[in-house]
Amino acid sequence: MQRPITGYHKDDADDWVAELSCGHGQHVRHRPPFLLRPWSLTAEGRDSMLGTQLDCVRCDRLEMPDGLTPYKRTPEFEEGTIPGGLRKNHATKAGVWGVIHVISGQLRYHVDGLDGRELLLTPETRGIVAPEVLHHVAPDGPVRFFVEFHSRGA
Ligand SMILES: [Zn+2]
């Protein structure tokens, strides 16, 4: 899915990495004649590309970025106490990732904003919620679960 560039840093090999709003990084190498990104070589060029959308396949795969810290969690819900907001399409804010932890039973997790995929969450399979991606959950029999929120922090 498309994510805007929010900043840059250099990796250990001295190559420029674009930081995306989701928390993932993506190399923006200039390697003529195969990779032409002359803009990545200057501060002005990089600044001019802030906000440009890049395709983030790690978001498509629902891979949580490294270096996030949990900062909040919901109360524990059961099949009869799932808030209406979680059962309708909703999304977290930019940069905020969620982890759905099923304690017992199972829960259906619909990722409507990505490709409509449906995942069955169990205590062995946690659900990863990518920032700004519409999703909802539905009970499938008895279940107990909570959601934990992660961000880059201060
Ligand atoms: Zn991403």
What phi and psi values does residue 106 have, to the nearest 5 degrees? -145, 160
Domain count of the chain?
Answer: 2
- Reference 147, options 136, 95, 25, 41; nearest CA is 136
Query: Do 145 and 74 fall into the same domain?
Result: yes
What is the mean pLDDT for each group of 10 consecutive residues in the chain (154 residues)? 96 96 95 93 97 97 95 97 96 96 98 94 98 97 98 78
> Do 103 and 37 reside in the same domain of the chain?
no
pLDDT at 154: 56
Q: How far is the CA of 145 from the centre of ligand 1 (A)?
A: 25
Q: Which domain holds residue 118?
A: 69-151
Give me the phi and psi of 48, to 5 degrees please: -65, -20
pLDDT at 27: 96
Distance 78 CA to ligand 1 centre (A): 30
Closest CA to 71 of 103, 95, 107, 88: 95
Distance (angstroms) between ligand 1 centre and the Cα of 22 equals 5
Both 28 and 99 in a single domain? no
CATH code (residue 103)? 2.60.120.10
Q: What pTM, to 2 d.p., does this model score?
A: 0.91
Cis peptide before 83 (omega within 30 of 0): no
Task: Write the CB contacts of 41 (distance below 8 Å, at least 6 apart in sequence).
Answer: 30
Q: Are residues 142 and 81 in the same domain?
A: yes
